[in-house]
A and B are shown apart, each in its own frame.
Chain A
Amino acid sequence: MNIVETSGLGKRYGSMWALRDCSLAIPAGHVAALVGPNGAGKTTLLNLAVGLAEPTAGAITVLGGLAAGSPAALDGIAFVAQDTPVYRNLSAADMLHLTRNLNRRFDQPYAKARLGELGIPLNRKAGKLSGGQRAQLALTVALARRPRLLVLDEPVAMLDPVARHDFMASVMTAMAAEGVSVALSSHVLADLERMADYLILLSRGRVQMAGEVAGLLASHRLLTGPPPRPTDTPNGRWCMPSAARRRPTCWPAPPRTTRSRPAGRRTRSTWRNS
Chain B
Amino acid sequence: MYSGQHLRVSDAEREAVTDRLAEHFAAGRLDQAEFDDRVERAMSAKTRADLSGLFAGLPGTGAPAAPELPRDGGSAPGSPIEFRLDAASGVPTYLQLVHQVEHALRLGYLKPGDQLPKVRDVVASLAINPNTVLKAYKELEVKGLTAGRPGQGTFVQATLGHVALPELAGLHKALLGWLGAADGAGLDEDGIVALFTSALRDFYERRGGTGDRRGAASGETEGVA
Asked whether A169 and B129 contact (CB < 8 A) given A194-B87, A194-B93, the answer is no
With A169-B71, A169-B123, A176-B119 known as contacts, the answer to whether A195 contacts B87 (CB < 8 A) is no
B127 within 8 A of A: yes
In the bound complex, how far is the Cα of B133 from the Cα of A31, in angstroms?
14
A interface, by DSSP: helix, strand, loop or mixed? helix
- Which B residues are CB-close (under 8 A) to A169? 71, 123-127
| Any B CB within 8 A of the CB of A175 | yes
Q: List the A side residues contacting B182 at CB < 8 Å.
A: none
Interface members, chain A 170-199 (any B CB < 8 Å)? 172-173, 175-177, 190-191, 194-197
B128 touches A195 (CB 8 A): yes
With an 8 A cutoff between CB atoms, is B85 at the interface? yes
What's the nearest-Cβ distance from chain A to residue B139, in Å? 13
Contact indicator A194/B120 (Cβ below 8 Å): no
Tell me whether B119 and A165 are in contact (CB under 8 A): no
Bin chain A's interface residue count.
10 to 19
Assess whether B93 is in contact with A176, with CB atoms less than 8 Å apart. Answer: no
Tell me the interface secondary structure of chain B in the complex: helix
Report the minimum CB–CB distance from A17 to chain B (whole Å).
32
A197 touches B132 (CB 8 A): yes
Enumerate B116-164 residues with CB–CB distance to A below 8 Å. 119-120, 123-133
Contact A172 B71 (CB under 8 A): no
Q: How far is the CB of B89 from chain A (nearest CB, A)?
A: 12
Residue of B nearest to A177 (CB): B120
Can you name the residue of chain B whose Cβ is closest to the Cβ of A164?
Answer: B127
**A194 x B71 contact (CB < 8 A):** no
| Among A31, A165, A176, A177: residue with most chain B CB under 10 A | A176
Q: How far is the CB of A266 from chain B (nearest CB, A)?
A: 26
Q: Is the CB of B123 within 8 A of A172?
A: yes
Tier of interface size on chain B: 10 to 19
Say whether, besides A29-B131, A166-B71, A194-B129, A173 and B93 are in contact (CB < 8 Å). Answer: no
Alpha-carbon separation in the docked complex, A136 to B105 (Å)? 38
- By CB atoms of chain B within 10 A, which of A168, A195, A197 has the most? A195
Given contacts A165-B71, A190-B87, contact A197 B129 (CB under 8 A): yes
Asked if A195 and B119 sit within 8 Å, CB to CB, the answer is no
Any B CB within 8 A of the CB of A11 = no
Return chain B residues, CB-CB under 8 Å to A176: 119-120, 123, 130, 133
**Whole-angstrom CA separation of A216 from B177 in the bound complex:** 46
Q: Is A145 an interface residue (CB 8 A)?
A: no
Q: Which residue of A lies closest to B87 (CB)?
A: A190
CB-CB < 8 A to A196: which residues of B?
129
B120 contacts which chain A residues (CB < 8 A)? 173, 176-177
Q: Are A165 and B127 in contact (CB under 8 A)?
A: yes
> Are B128's CB and A194's CB within 8 A?
yes
Distance between A93 CB and nearest chain B CB, rounded to angstroms = 23
Cross-interface CB contact of A194 among B85, B119, B125, cutoff 8 Å = B85
Given A173-B120, A194-B85: A168 and B131 interface contact (C-beta under 8 Å): no
Q: From B124, B125, B127, give the contact of A195 (CB < 8 A).
A: B127
- The proximity string for B residues 70-89 relative to A, scoring 1 for CB distances below 8 Å and 0 otherwise, is 01000000000000010100
Q: Which of A29, A173, A194, A197 contacts B124 (CB 8 A)?
A: A173
A175 surroundings in chain B (CB, below 8 A): 123, 129-130
A175 to chain B, nearest CB (A): 5
Whether A30 is near chain B, meaning CB under 8 Å from some CB there, is: yes
- A residues apposed to B, CB below 8 Å: 29-31, 165-166, 168-169, 172-173, 175-177, 190-191, 194-197
Additional A-B contact list (5), CB under 8 Å, known A169-B125, A194-B93, A195-B128: A29-B131, A166-B127, A173-B120, A173-B123, A177-B120
Can you list 8 pairs linking A and B with CB atoms under 8 Å apart?
Answer: A30-B131, A172-B123, A175-B130, A176-B130, A176-B133, A194-B127, A194-B132, A196-B129
